[in-house]
Amino acid sequence: MKNTVDALREQVCALHAELVRYGLVVWTAGNVSARVPGHDLFVIKPSGVSYDDLTPASIVVCDLDGELVEGDWAGGDLRPSSDTAAHAHVYRHMAHVGGVVHTHSTYASAWAAHGRAVPCALTAMADEFGGEIPLGPFARIGDDSIGRAVVETLSGHRSPAVIMRNHGVFSIGRDALAAVKAAVMCEDVARTTHHAVALGALSPLPQDDVDALFDRYQNAYGQQGATA
Amino acid sequence: MKNTVDALREQVCALHAELVRYGLVVWTAGNVSARVPGHDLFVIKPSGVSYDDLTPASIVVCDLDGELVEGDWAGGDLRPSSDTAAHAHVYRHMAHVGGVVHTHSTYASAWAAHGRAVPCALTAMADEFGGEIPLGPFARIGDDSIGRAVVETLSGHRSPAVIMRNHGVFSIGRDALAAVKAAVMCEDVARTTHHAVALGALSPLPQDDVDALFDRYQNAYGQQGATA
Amino acid sequence: MKNTVDALREQVCALHAELVRYGLVVWTAGNVSARVPGHDLFVIKPSGVSYDDLTPASIVVCDLDGELVEGDWAGGDLRPSSDTAAHAHVYRHMAHVGGVVHTHSTYASAWAAHGRAVPCALTAMADEFGGEIPLGPFARIGDDSIGRAVVETLSGHRSPAVIMRNHGVFSIGRDALAAVKAAVMCEDVARTTHHAVALGALSPLPQDDVDALFDRYQNAYGQQGATA
Amino acid sequence: MKNTVDALREQVCALHAELVRYGLVVWTAGNVSARVPGHDLFVIKPSGVSYDDLTPASIVVCDLDGELVEGDWAGGDLRPSSDTAAHAHVYRHMAHVGGVVHTHSTYASAWAAHGRAVPCALTAMADEFGGEIPLGPFARIGDDSIGRAVVETLSGHRSPAVIMRNHGVFSIGRDALAAVKAAVMCEDVARTTHHAVALGALSPLPQDDVDALFDRYQNAYGQQGATA
């Protein structure tokens, strides 16, 4: 298991750099986690650590209650991200989810502060989200309220991302890379749609076109066997 | 021919980096292709490959039906971009086109999601596009609908770029470099014009000034013999 | 004391690079200062020096009247930042402040030119600012008017940042790093809130939620003993 | 003279990189020139050359009629920028000008496409521009119309920058560095003011405050003897 955890730490550390590269995070905000396949564990960013200082060894290991796992191989005296309870709740209730990402990315959070789901008027959004990106309720941090709201909003929804009212984005994926891709694409389409709304009304994208695009993209895009 | 194809692969690989540099693409979206002069072939980005992982060898060779060309020198077990059919359609029907670019660049796509051609109120736009950047119809991916719409919109039009409704940009050029330049300038003027509209009405640019600027720029700008 | 001052110069020089990295400053605008603990002194950026040319040795030492300190170890024939009087006034009147930052960051300054406090509709803003970011009055540079306005606006306020009308941002912290964090977060939430307002009305964030978030973040976030 | 020209070529080549760094230009748009002190000559960017390919040796030498200067030391078979006539006109008619910059920077050009001077509601703008950034008339490229419009608008005006209707920015300075600074600050305040207008009305900045700020900044800011 140690080898699996070490590999996930490497990957999750590297994926945090993608959040920086795509401008989704400032200072220490934002976090990526990955489930340890076959174990009731996941790895996640430590709380309040600068992206510059993040190393694979600083990524912490938690159980599915969000409690820090102790021990030599789990290492570390760092506290897990303050969003750990939300990640843990998702892993406990969505068995197909292998990665979770949380950001306050600018345009997605603007929709959240305004309190509206991002409407679907772009083929790229139909491809990736299968329609609108839903708006989840406001939930206060500190217990599993946020995690519950994420699970309730995304269960049975095509979208791998939810915009939490007055807060920011949670995205999920079969692994951490897919969840990061969803976070990146969420900000991209939230931004483009924001600028479109500024020009006036959106041009509607008929539901049957949305459905056809989503179906094709999920089944035919990319190289066979590719993760994202 | 192998040398020609290899040189085009180098160029097309490098031009994808320009899409990244100018912020026209995120994740794996966007693609550049180049016709192989004197052959019914073109080279294009493989589907769903990260810009970080793109190498000249990963650029694939297709015939003008958009089918992957097999063989040692064509190499590769990668599938071509999911937009290959649109590129192929353009090469089949526009003999003067040597390069095609597709992006979902932010401001151009905002005009596409709103459903309006980008009006011409900038000398830089008159220079490069000879007037407005036209809006093409919505077309579903999967057959040659997109390619047909691109060809129909751009045939006989001064503009080397079209904004496809609810989708993004296709640009063309006598070679891939010129098509990339058109994609870069399209986003630039779409952005500036968006910000101008946000201030209120655009200041009109009289048609005879547009015509004079377009004529001068196409014939007198740059170094003699330069590509762009 | 020389060692302490040298260490602060290193830190303050490095923190100016953070202003550049986060896009809060252009050309020579903006400045960071740090109090010398236990002495009536602080270190600050020299006036009109390019960020590329800033070195620890170029950071100047001032007394709490904002006068340049002479002498071998204080070194330097550079004049302190033209905002030095404002920094000095803050250090004289706010004993708990160990760092001050001033920027003309784009979105915060847009709120300042419009003349409105940034309303609180984001959990990240409740965390860091405990509510709105207040608007301070217009004050002319040249005496201690700006410093007085900063102190009057921030005294007894939760927010570590103030948006000065028609001007820009002043932020404070227990040390220079905390003040820089406040400047970075101020621009981030000013930007997101600006984009939210562009979509229409803000979704309100109830005061008791703001209070709870602020209390938790100030006491529970990050690693124990961490500065920010 | 050769040494002076070579030094100016170095400086002007380096200053073009500042236009790129501050995001004022895309592709080959934009140009910087510098007068050769004591000679009826200036150096300027060649036409249509990529910023990546610009070297000191590629910077061309022109006389004050905008004609390319031939000869060994002037070197080069490159054509000067298509905006050379405008630069030349400025040097002929404004003896105190030692540097000229032209860009299509985004926000300044948005004001130009809308057709409004940038109003002064920021202390940074009062400092640098002494009030609004004026709007010059539309002028067609090809003769000295643009140069005349720049000179007429800026003569007797405090502002070192003019926003040319439907076009972009021309800025001037006692040397090329000062002109580049004016171009950078012009875009910065055009952007901030654009975002302020999006929030509603601007908060007015009284004329006597504008006057006092301008006077102080021009006489007291920076290190003594510094260029900018």
Q: What 8-state DSSP symbol labels residue C98?
A: -
Interface membership of C226 toward D (CB under 8 Å): no
Contacts of A48 in chain C (CB under 8 A): 221-223, 226, 228
The sheet that has C31-36: what strands, in order across it? C60-63, C41-44, C31-36, C99-103, C168-173, C161-164, C135-136
Give the model's pLDDT for residue A228. 41
C168 touches chain D (CB under 8 A): yes
D114 interaction partners in chain B (CB closer than 8 Å): 196-197, 199-203
Q: Which of B82-86, C12-16, C140-144 has the lowest mean pLDDT?
A: C140-144
Please check the confidence at residue B65 and state whether its pLDDT lies above 60: yes
Q: Give the gap in angstroms from C-alpha C66 to the nearest C-alpha of chain A.
A: 30
Q: Please indicate whether, in this complex, the C-beta atoms of D203 and C47 are within 8 angstroms of each other.
A: no
Dump pLDDT digits (tens) for B148-182: 999 999 999 999 999 999 999 999 999 999 999 99
The pLDDT, as a whole number, for residue B228 is 42
| Pair of tokens at residue B82 | 């999911």
Band (pLDDT 50/70/90 cuts) for residue A75 is low
- The answer to which of A55-59, A141-145, B180-184 has the lowest mean pLDDT is A141-145
Least confident segment among A2-6, A132-136, B216-220: B216-220
CA distance C167 to chain D (A): 5
What's the longest Cα–Cα distance across chain C? 58
Amino acid identity at D223 = Q
Pick the residue of C81, C166, C167 with the most D CBs within 10 A to test the interface with D by mutation.
Answer: C166
> Which residue(s) pair with B101 in the sheet?
B32, B171
Residue A225 has pLDDT above 70, yes or no: no
Check residue B54 and give its pLDDT.
Answer: 96
* Rounded Cα distance, A181 and A99, in Å: 11
CB contact under 8 A, A123 and B47: no
Residue B214 domain-assigned (yes or no): yes
Tell me if B27 and A212 make a contact (CB, 8 A cut-off): no
Asked if the C-beta of D114 comes within 8 angstroms of chain B's C-beta atoms, the answer is yes
pLDDT of residue C226: 47
Residues C192, C120 contacting (CB under 8 angstroms): no
Residue C227 reports pLDDT greater than 80: no
Mean of the pLDDT values across residues A147-158? 97
Rounded mean pLDDT, B197-202: 97
Does residue A226 have a pLDDT over 50? no
* Interchain contact D184–C (C-beta under 8 A): yes
Q: Residue D116: its chain B contacts at CB < 8 A?
A: 199-200
Domain assignment present for C188: yes
Mean confidence (pLDDT) of chain A: 94
At residue D227, the pLDDT reads: 41
In chain D, the residue whose alpha carbon lies closest to the alpha carbon of C138 is D205
Least confident of A5-9, A47-51, A216-220: A216-220
Encode chain D (228 residues) as per-residue pLDDT tens digits.
Answer: 789 999 999 999 999 999 999 999 999 999 999 999 999 999 999 999 999 999 999 999 999 999 999 766 666 679 999 999 999 999 999 999 999 999 999 999 999 999 999 999 999 999 999 999 999 999 999 889 999 999 999 999 999 999 999 999 999 999 999 999 999 999 999 999 999 999 999 999 999 999 999 999 988 767 754 444
Look at residues B140, B137, B142, B165 and name the one whose alpha carbon lies nearest to residue B152. Answer: B137
SS (H, E, C) chain B: CHHHHHHHHHHHHHHHHHHHHCCCCCCCCCEEEEECCCCCEEEECECCCCHHHCCHHHCEEEECCCCECCCCCCCCCCCECCCHHHHHHHHHHCCCCCEEEEECCHHHHHHHHHCCCECCCCHHHHHHHCCCECEECCCCECECHHHHHHHHHHCCCCCCEEEECCCEEEEEECCHHHHHHHHHHHHHHHHHHHHHHHHCCCCCCCHHHHHHHHHHHHHHCCCCCCCC
CB contact under 8 A, D112 and B124: no
What is the per-residue pLDDT for B75? Answer: 63
What confidence category does residue B226 fall into, taking pLDDT thresholds of 50, 70 and 90? Answer: very low
Q: Give the SS3 label for residue C225.
A: coil
Q: Taking residues A51-73, what's their average pLDDT? A: 90
Q: Domain range for residue A32?
A: 2-219
Asked whether residue C228 is assigned to any structural domain, the reply reads: no
* pLDDT computed for residue B71 by the predictor: 65
Residue B97 to chain A, least CA–CA distance (Å): 26
SS3 per-residue string spanning chain D: CHHHHHHHHHHHHHHHHHHHHCCCCCCCCCEEEEEECCCCEEEECECCCCHHHCCHHHCEEEECCCCECCCCCCCCCCCECCCHHHHHHHHHHCCCCCEEEEECCHHHHHHHHHCCCECCCCHHHHHHHCCCECEECCCCECECHHHHHHHHHHCCCCCCEEEECCCEEEEEECCHHHHHHHHHHHHHHHHHHHHHHHHCCCCCCCHHHHHHHHHHHHHHCCCCCCCC
Q: Answer whether B205 sits within 8 Å of D138, measured CB to CB.
A: yes
Q: Nearest-CA neighbor of B140 among A208, A224, A221? A: A208
In a domain, D225, yes or no: no
In angstroms and rounded to an integer, the radius of gyration of the C-alpha atoms of chain D is 17
Q: Which residues of A touch B168 (CB under 8 A)?
A: 122-124
Contacts of C109 in chain D (CB under 8 A): 122, 124, 192, 196
Chain D touched by B192 (CB under 8 Å):
yes
CB-CB neighbors (< 8 A) of C142 in chain D? 212, 216
* Number of independent structural domains in chain C: 1
Partner-chain contact C188 A82, CB within 8 Å: no
pLDDT, average across residues C45-56: 95
Q: How confident is residue B142, by pLDDT bands cut at 50, 70 and 90?
A: confident
Mean pLDDT estimate for chain C: 94
Structural domain includes residue B227:
no
Q: Looking at the partner chain, which of D47, D107, D167 has a beta carbon nearest the beta carbon of B222?
A: D47
Say if B195 falls within a structural domain. Answer: yes
Q: Residues C135, C139, C140, CA angle at the centre, nearest 5°?
A: 150
How far away is chain D from the Cα of B16, in angstroms, using its nearest Cα? 15
pTM across the whole model? 0.96
pLDDT at B82: 93
pLDDT > 80? residue A89: yes
ipTM of this complex prediction, to 2 decimal places: 0.95
**Residue C193, domain CATH:** 3.40.225.10
pLDDT band at A58 (very low <50, low <70, confident <90, very high): very high
Residue A169 has pLDDT above 50, yes or no: yes
What pLDDT does residue B224 have?
59
For residues B35 and B97, is the Cβ–Cβ distance under 8 A? Answer: yes
Distance from C-alpha of A92 to C-alpha of D45, rounded to nearest angstrom: 62
Cα of C169 to nearest chain D Cα, Å: 12
Average pLDDT over residues B208-223: 88
Can you give the pLDDT at residue A73?
A: 66
**Tally: H helices and E strands in chain A:** 7, 7
Instruction: Say whether C163 sits in a helix, a strand or coil.
Output: strand
Residue A221 has pLDDT above 70, yes or no: no
Which of B48, B47, B59 has its CA nearest to residue B14? B59
